[in-house]
Structure 1
C-alpha cells in the first residue's frame, strides 16, 4: 500500500443532492461485493421498487419537482414514523407524495448510459458504498462538515447564523500549504467568515483548468459547481431537477484536467455529493459521533449520519474496480476528507470530535504507482443547451437555496466596496440586533428570479475578487475575538 508521501495534491469536487442508489445503485450486477440495487429488497415504499431509466427515454430531470431535504423531511423518509431504532428507509415515496410529487419518480435511479462519466470513473478507480452524508440535514450543514467538521448546530439551510464563524481546514492550511476554492457563480464557502480575509484564494473554475495544465495545483483544491443558470449555461450541480448531463460533463472536465496535468502522479481526486436531496437509498445510516456538545435550544445532537451519497476516489495509486469501505466500525463521511487532508499534509487537529473519529482515505492508495493509469481522458458530447430551456430556467423563481445565496451575496456586497472584514462582521452583528424591519440601504434588494439572482451573486463575487486580488489579500484579518463575538 502506498503512503501519504506520494500525494501532494488533494482535489475535491462536491456536487448536489443525490443518493448513492440514485446515481450508482445499478453500477454493478447482483452478487458482486457492492451494495447496490440488484437484488435489494425495497418493500415498504408503497410497493414501488427502485427502477432504472428505461432504454430510449430521457430521465435527466427526474425527480421533478425538487424532493424534500429539510431535517424533518429526511426523518420522514428514513423512519416513516417515530424516530427510533434503525431507520426503515420506507418513507421516501410517502414523503414525496406529501410534497406533491409523483411517488414513482423518487425511486428512479440512473444507469451507466445516463451518467457515463461518473460510471466510468467509479469502475476505473475506487467507489465507496459506505460513504454517508455527515448529517440527515440539508446542503449547507453537510457542506459545513466538509470544511469545518461541524454544522455549528444548524440542521437546515438558514441565514440565522450568518456570518458563520467556524474554524475551517482552509484556515489551518493557511501559511502552511497552498489552497484554493474554485467556483462558477457563488461559492457556498463564502458564508464562512473566517475565510473572508483570504478571498484571494477564491478563483473561478477556468483557473482550475489553467492551474492543472501548468502543474500549479494547490495542495488542497475544493471545487463548487454552478448553482444558477446564466446566459449560456444551465446549472451543473446535479440538484434535482437540474439536468444531470451538465454535472456529468463537469466531472469529465475536472478529471480530464487532472489526468492531463503534470501534477497527476501526485494527485488524489474525490468526487462526492453533499447530501441525498430526498432521493431514495436502501442502506440505513448508522449512529455517528457528535461533533461537539449540543448548544442550548439545539433539537438535534448530530449523532446520526445522513443518507449514503456517491463517493469516487481517483488516483494513480488506486486499483481499478476497488469498492472502498473503512477498515474500522466508523464509515466514511465528509469529515473523512478533513482527516485525509490533515494526514496527507501533516496538519495538527482535529476540528471536531466527529473528524477525530473519522477514517481517512489511505485505503484507497492500494496499488503501486502506475499500476492503474486510468483513462487518458473521458470524452462526452457537450450537453445541448436548448434556448427555450435556458430562458425558462433563468425566468423561474429562485429555489430556496438560490434565494438564500442571493441574500448572502447582498450581505457580502460591502466587502467588494472597501469595508474591512473586521468592520463588516461588526456591522452584521449590529444589524442582527437592529429593530425588526430595519433596512440595509447599502445594497439593492436581492432578485427573485434564478437568472437575475445568479447575475447579482456573480457581480458581487467579481467585485470581491477584484478587491482581494492576488498576490495577497489586504492585511486585515480580524482578531479571533471578532469571530467569537458572532
Structure 2
C-alpha cells in the first residue's frame, strides 16, 4: 500500500506494544458508542484555522499557501489562494460527484489509473478545486469560485474548536469514496456501497442488499437505534434487511427520542444519529455553520450530561468534503470491498468508471470520551492493513469492542481501515466540559 507517512510503519510495532494494556481493558471503559455524522466539509475548510496545536496538519500550520489555478493547464496563470474568510453560509454547493472530485484531486476527469500506486498518488496535485467550481458555476469570476478554496476562521466554530481542544482530533481521516453523501454513508454503515457512486433512489428504497453494521450488531446481540432528524433519510433505511426484519418500527426513531433516552440513561449500546439535510443543522450548504454548531452542541451536552457518559465513546465525523478544498492527497490502492464498479458521464461528456480503489478527501473527525487524552492529535492509524483512518474505521472499532462475528471484519475495506481502541486510556477524566460555548453570531 502507498502512504504519505512512512513513519507509521516504523512506529506501529512499538506503539502497539505500549498500548497493549489499553487494548486489554478498553472494553471495560466503553460500554456505549454514539455516532453523529455531519455533512459536506473538508478538513481544511472546517479545521484549517485551528491554532491550539502546531501538530495539526492544517492550513494554519502549512509552510506554504494553498492555491489553485484558474486553469489547471496553466498553473502559473491566474489563481486564488486560501484565506480564513469562508462565510457562515456558503454561497454555493460545490460539485462532489465522483468525476467532479476526480477533477479536484487530479486536475482531470480521467486520471490514468493504470500507473503504479506511487505514480497515481503523485498525480493527486489537489489543484482542480477552483477550476471545477468555475465549471459548475459556468463563470470565470474567481472571487466567487474561490469560495471553494477558502476556509473558516476558528472564531466561527467555537463548539467544534472546544471539542477538539478537549478530546482527540483526527487530521488524517478520509472519506471512503471520492464522491457524494450516500455512497460514503453506506461505507460508514457497511464498509461498501454495492457499486453506488451517486445519491440515487436506491438509498431511499431499502435497496442495498449487503450486511450492514446494524444487522451485524443485531445478530450479535448488541442493542442499537438510528435516531434521525426531520427530512434526512435514516442511514439504517438504506438496507433491505432493515425493512424485511421490521427494524424500521423498532430501531429507527425521531431525534426527540434520543434526547429523552440520553437524559434517562436509556440509550442503546450503539446510537447512530442522522441530521436533517440541508437547511439548519447538517452543515451541508446552505445550512449555516452556526446553526449546525448549535445542534451539535445539543447532542454533545445530552451525552455529556446523561448518566451513561462515564462509559461512552462519542464519534463525530463528516460524510464527505462537499467539494471544498483540502491540501492532503488521499491514499490510493485500497481494496474494493465487493468487486463492483460505478460509471458516470463526466463534465467533458465522456464516461468514467470508478473501481472504488482510492479514498475520498480528508474530513473532520473527533473521538470524544472521558477515557481519551485532552487535546490529542491523531495522524495515521497503527493497525488495519492500511494503517489509515477512513469511514470504515467505525465498523473496525465496534467489531473489536464487541467482538462482532468473533472479530471478523465486515468487508475487506473494514479490514484495511485502522480502528482506534488504542486511543482509550485507563485514566478517567473529570475535566471534560459539561457545557460547550454558544455558537458564533451569524
TM-score, L = length of structure 1: 0.73
Q: Distance in 2 between matches of 1:347 and 1:366?
A: 22
Which residue does the alignment assign to 2:34? Answer: 11
- 1:198 alignment counterpart: 247
Q: Which runs of 5+ in 1 are unaligned?
A: 229-233, 385-486
Equivalent residue for 2:365? 311
> Hey, what's the Cα distance between the residues in 1 that align with 2:342 and 2:227?
35
2:148 to 97, 106, 118: 106
1:297 positional shift: 7.0
Q: CA deviation at 1:324?
A: 1.1
Alpha-carbon distance, 1:25 to partner: 1.0
> Residues of 2 paired with 1:204 and 1:252: CA distance?
18
CA distance in 2, matches of 1:308, 1:14: 14
Contact 1:5 1:344 in 2 (8 A): no
Whether contact under 8 Å (2:226, 2:234) holds in the other structure is no
Distance 2:342 2:273 in 1: 34
Structure 1 pair 109/43, CA: closer, same or farther in 2 (3 Å)? closer
Aligned ranges 1:419-430 → 2 under 5 Å: none
Cα separation, 1, equivalents of 2:159 and 2:376: 17
**2:236 matches 1:187:** no
Equivalent position of 1:356 in the other structure: 415
Which of 391, 400, 414 is the matching residue for 1:334?
391
Q: 1:70 aligns with which of 86, 97, 100?
A: 97
Deviations 1:296-331 (A, max 9, x none): 776222110100000011000111110013125521
Residue in structure 1 matching 2:197, options 152, 155, 158: 155
Aligned to 2:130: 93
1:244 to 289, 303, 316: 289
How many residues end up aligned between the 2 structures? 372
> Is residue 137 from structure 1 mapped to residue 144 from structure 2 by the alignment?
no
Mean Cα displacement is larger for which, 180-189 or 289-298? 289-298
Residues 429-475 of structure 1: per-residue CA shift (max 9 Å, x gap)? xxxxxxxxxxxxxxxxxxxxxxxxxxxxxxxxxxxxxxxxxxxxxxx
Q: Distance in 1 between matches of 2:426 and 2:300?
A: 19
Give secondary structure in 1 for the equivalent of 2:214: helix
Match of 1:369 in 2: 428
Which residue does the alignment assign to 1:323?
377
Q: Which residue of the partner structure matches residue 430 of structure 1?
A: none
Query: What residue ranges of structure 2 are gaps of 5+ in the alignment?
Result: 1-21, 71-78, 113-119, 344-352
CA contact (8 A) 1:289 1:353 kept: no
TM value normalised by structure 2: 0.80
C-alpha distance in structure 2 between counterparts of 1:49 and 1:367, whole Å: 44
Alpha carbon RMSD of aligned pairs, Å? 2.1
Offset, 1:377: 1.1
Question: Residues 383, 152 of structure 1: CA spacing in aligned structure 2 closer, same or farther, 3 A cutoff?
Answer: farther
Structure 1 residues 40 and 79: alpha-carbon distance in aligned structure 2, compared to 1, 3 A threshold: farther
**Post-superposition shift, 1:293?**
4.6
Deviations 1:63-86 (A, max 9, x none): x22100100100010011251422
Show the counterpart of 2:403: 346
